Amino acid sequence: MKGKYKVRVQNKLVRFDFEIERNVSIIRGNSATGKTTLINMIVDYQNLGKASGVTVICDVNCVAMINQGSNWKAFLDSIHSSIVFIDEGEPYVRTVEFAEHISGTDNYYVIATRDNLYYIPYSVDAIYELKESGRYGKLKTVYNCFRRMYSEPVVRDTEFGKHGMVITEDSKSGYQFFKAVCDRNGMACKSALGKSNVLTSLKEYDGENALVVADGAAFGPEMENVYSMARNVSAKLFLPESFEWLILNSGIVSDSDIADIMSRPYDFVESEKYFSWEQFFASLLVARTQKKPYRYDKGKIAEYYTSDRSISKILGPFFEDM
């Protein structure tokens, strides 16, 4: 399954309008913010249809999982090419078994939860909270939409060289690239050796103006804690989709269709094949440079990418001094 889908769920009292473009989206929020209301409306519609008083409009099937208990796997196995809504409180969503089960399926998943689902590589751009947008029409229906919780996770229009330390999630090519950039600017660079270690690395840094670089496409589970810590210590977060996304977005790879893919990746990322967009961009970059002098290797960065010209093209759109 791929693509971007508009969803409308409504009855006489409430209406939800939102778009889903990734295979996993998270709805956050305290109790009584509408998460369960949305999912219960979908349950009513799938059980009673029009007689429920609920209307569900979407180009693909929308189904809800609630109170499935030990039957959750069988329920999921019966669903294909659908958007699956899962209510908070379902304990299986926090397990490795659930993450492995939904990986490679042809569905999209919208999960209402206040937990950080560490086994699922969801994007910081796919963490939403429900927002009441006002009243709709003469019926005075409450109108709701999804709002991204982290609307500006990527640093823009600032100076790279002013940071005292760069901490990268990556330990391979991405780290090697930023280490080369830092060496040119007389800056320190450290690999956290994985996204789960970024928080610890940030806590251990006792200087000022740290810059955290991580793959936003899969950093969602870590975002709440790292975002809070970054605010406490005045650190900045630079969270592009992935390092490979930075390269593809820079124009260095000049294949004629790259710009189109980058402008609407949701139309190219098959959920059955890629659990996160991070995997898709890595696969795309490797494939498109395989027979070129600047072949990309995730384990070792080619010198081509660390030239002054390439650094400027890769980081220039985000940092004024590149």
For residues 246 and 252, what is the distance between their CA atoms, to the nearest angstrom?
10
Residue 274 is predicted with a pLDDT of: 97
Mean pLDDT to the nearest integer, 297-307: 94
Residue 212 is predicted with a pLDDT of: 95
For residues 27 and 114, what is the distance between their CA atoms, to the nearest angstrom?
8
Q: 206: left (phi > 0), else alpha (psi -120 to 50), else beta?
A: alpha
For residues 144 and 147, what is the distance between their CA atoms, to the nearest angstrom?
10
For residues 122 and 129, what is the distance between their CA atoms, to the nearest angstrom?
15
Q: What are 104-151's pLDDT values in tens digits?
A: 999 999 999 988 999 999 999 999 988 776 554 444 556 677 788 886
Mean pLDDT to the nearest integer, 189-217: 93
Q: Identify the three-state secondary structure at position 168.
A: strand
Quick check: 217 and 277 in contact, CB under 8 A? yes
Q: What are 50-93's pLDDT values in tens digits?
A: 999 999 999 999 999 888 878 899 999 999 999 999 987 888 99
Residue 141 is predicted with a pLDDT of: 55
Number of Cβ atoms within 10 Å of the Cβ of 115: 15
